[in-house]
Amino acid sequence: MHPRETVDRALRLSALGYNDRQVAAFCGVSLGAVQKWRTGARRAKEDEDRRRHSSCPHCHGRELDPGPYSYLLGLYLGDGHIVLCRKGVYQLSIFCGDMWPGLIDAAAHALASVMPASKVSRRQHTGCTEVKSYSLHWACLFPQHGPGRKHERTIVLADWQEKIVSEHPGLFARGLIHSDGYRGTNRVRRPVGGEDKWYEYPRYLFKNESGDILRLCGETLDRLGVAWRYNKRNEISVARRDAVARLDEFVGPKY
């Protein structure tokens, strides 16, 4: 990559009427470089390279949008996956069920908001859509990335992540439940006066094999003032009427 001063000098010489070969000789660069600068192709590539190498909030000091990040963190801990590809580029994928197109759009929007210099794409699988983005810096933003499955390793938030989650707990809970949870109707049969009667009520469930991720979910619900309990070893339930109503303010059904 040539210095910006060289590019600007070449463009000034071209504007003065010198031909590409003369400009190349004056600037000490190749003829092809001058042609690409003059037509805009090289400058567009250099601008893109510059954006790619100034895109990380931790490595380059770019401001991180905390709301979308809190939501994306919840999605990642549930149904997210990071892999290292060629040339040190990381791929972050969020897998979303096809029956919830709104969730697919929300995941794509979160990826684009957190890493705006990286393109977001979608890949169709059987019954689900993989929403993914490539960046050199996804592992910087998700230090929980590591070898093996999430429930087989320790999951602890970094201090800066904890600060974001504490300031945006509703969006974090929304990401967790949109990934590994749901809001549905529970039906219970109880004997009343010698007869069986059925009762229905809404509830939230969040299921995950990682005890650490379940703990993070419970701590976030506590921050929101939402009563919860362990329904099973690997499942959290929110079933009290006031608790469901409170969580509806932040999550609601998948769509």
- For residue 146, the model assigns a pLDDT of 86
- For residue 190, the model assigns a pLDDT of 73
- The β-bridge relationship of strands 90-97 and 80-84 is antiparallel
- For residue 181, the model assigns a pLDDT of 94
Label residues 45-72 b or e (16+ Cβ within 10 Å = b). Answer: ebeeeeeeeebbbeeeeeebebbbbbbb
- For residue 3, the model assigns a pLDDT of 82
- φ/ψ of 83, rounded to 5, equals -130, 150
- φ/ψ of 241, rounded to 5, equals -55, -45
- For residue 43, the model assigns a pLDDT of 52
Chunked mean pLDDT (size 10), the chain, 255 residues: 81 80 90 84 52 68 90 95 89 94 94 89 94 93 90 93 97 96 85 75 95 97 97 95 96 89
